[in-house]
């Protein structure tokens, strides 16, 4: 069973892979998304960020072998 550090490094690498692929495949779409984010109020970004983080925790919890 891999250690938590290995799992963390793999998760960070996977996130970098996905984000890098989005920038490589859709550069103009990513620029538009970033400019649209700057016009959003802070509370909207905070709520969306908390929801995504909560979803991530739920996915990790459901898929960790017990």
Q: 62: which DSSP letter?
A: H
Token output for 39: 């016009």
Is the per-residue pLDDT at 6 higher than 70? Answer: yes
**Does 1 score more than 80 pLDDT?**
no
20-63 pLDDT, tens digit each: 999 999 999 999 999 999 999 999 999 999 999 999 889 888 88
> 46: closest CA among 58, 54, 57, 34?
54
Q: Which residues contact 37 (CB under 8 A, 6 or more apart)?
A: 45
Distance from C-alpha of 60 to C-alpha of 15, rounded to nearest angstrom: 14
pLDDT at 63: 82
């Amino acid at each position: 069973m891999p250690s938590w550090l290995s799992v963390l490094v793999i998760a960070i690498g996977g996130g970098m892979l996905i984000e890098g692929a989005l920038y490589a495949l859709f550069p103009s779409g990513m620029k538009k998304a970033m400019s649209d984010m700057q016009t959003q109020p802070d509370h909207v970004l905070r709520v969306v960020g908390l929801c995504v983080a909560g979803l991530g925790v739920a996915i990790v919890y459901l898929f960790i072998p017990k």
